[in-house]
Structure 1
């Protein structure tokens, strides 16, 4: 990091919790999201290079003088015959960048409300999510604007099917007419669950807070919040939730490559403990 800064670069890395902490601060969680959003550009380029088996392994020292040439050749072939890594609209991308840079300076007002009013210690009357009739419906674009990416939205159907269709591992409680408290089971630890809060009005979701590691951020949302909002605002209104891919066709026909997932939010894999 110090070396990069000496070269005049601004170097940032995802934040880590100090010993004894259970959650990143809003500032640290926001900063970490900025890093993971940017690093996907580098990771996707590296992933394309590593599709070549020779470059997807540790090479002997005898090959060191030739590695640069190999990479130039592979990159030239990729640039010529593979689709661009980014096919987005430049103006839209700039708008997203401006939005997340602005959000990174904001605080999580709902987190402050939960802590100041001690909402996590109040008595609750848990109900099934199907009883919520006033939660706003949101389309894919509105959900994507809220999550600041597509990674979580692509995972939400499978997460929703796992938790909501079979025995409903999610329960909701109203702390006030437009504030939901939700309890959701951890995907990785059967004995662990998370509490999260979602504030909304007749047309949109206006605030969120989860007690997981990255749940206080306002630059996008954590995976728990994304899945719950997707289900309440969209998924439950669909006739069925299609979540599981038929990976067998990729085994039978190796020339068919599954559509890559934008892992710009892949830090969520390490959120739950």
Structure 2
């Protein structure tokens, strides 16, 4: 329940480009139907023949909400990528944080696909209970239209391999800022970049290199 209204939710499976492979649901949005439970239902019941089009060692990228279904996915031979958990700690170590960033850099296309569905006005408003039996059909029609007429959420560029190589090279890099904060006593000050001599002016390409 949210804002005194009953909610239903779908689940989308997408490729890394945002192409929607399958749309499941709607599921009643309650404590019994979290992401992991829905994923288990899809796999156990082989919804839409999903087990026929996944292969051993296919990589599945999910968020932490799928924690309780990772065992089933691995039992089916899938390689699961999911961000780490703090488990009572205050922060991740550098490797865990970098791995989580890797996953986020891929998984955002799922949120993009969900957002595209909500661009259809019918899905962004309150719907009548009488239309619930048709929600699945409407959802699949919307997803088909998105696949047919919307551009991919992410496009390939000539330097994709270079970016991937640089990311992998940085995976095991230590957190130098954290090291400095631990070893030095630093204080925040207020300043204006225009008053700092030789403050760097970066081009968009230089910013892309820094933020890989």
Q: What TM-score bracket applies, with the shorter chain setting the length?
A: 0.5 to 0.7
TM-score by length of 1: 0.43
CA distance in 2, matches of 1:106, 1:51: 40
Query: Would you say 1:145 and 2:209 are equivalent positions?
Result: yes
Determine which of 77, 100, 113 is the counterpart of 1:32.
100
Alignment of 1:40-189 (within 5 A): 40-56=108-124, 63=132, 67=136, 69-89=137-157, 91-115=158-182, 118-119=183-184, 121=185, 126=189, 128-130=191-193, 131-148=195-212
Deviation at 1:29, TM superposition (A): 1.3
Unmatched tracts of structure 1, length 5 or more: 149-273
Deviation at 1:127, TM superposition (A): 6.2
CA distance in 2, matches of 1:47, 1:114: 38
With 10-19 and 99-108 compared, the bigger mean Cα shift is at 10-19
Unmatched tracts of structure 2, length 5 or more: 1-69
TM-score by length of 2: 0.53
Q: Secondary structure at the match of 2:151?
A: coil
* Equivalenced residues, count: 141
Determine which of 62, 70, 73 is the counterpart of 1:4.
73
Q: Secondary structure at the match of 1:11?
A: strand
CA distance in 1, matches of 2:156, 2:202: 22
RMSD of Structure 2 on Structure 1 (CA): 3.2
Q: Secondary structure at the match of 1:143?
A: helix
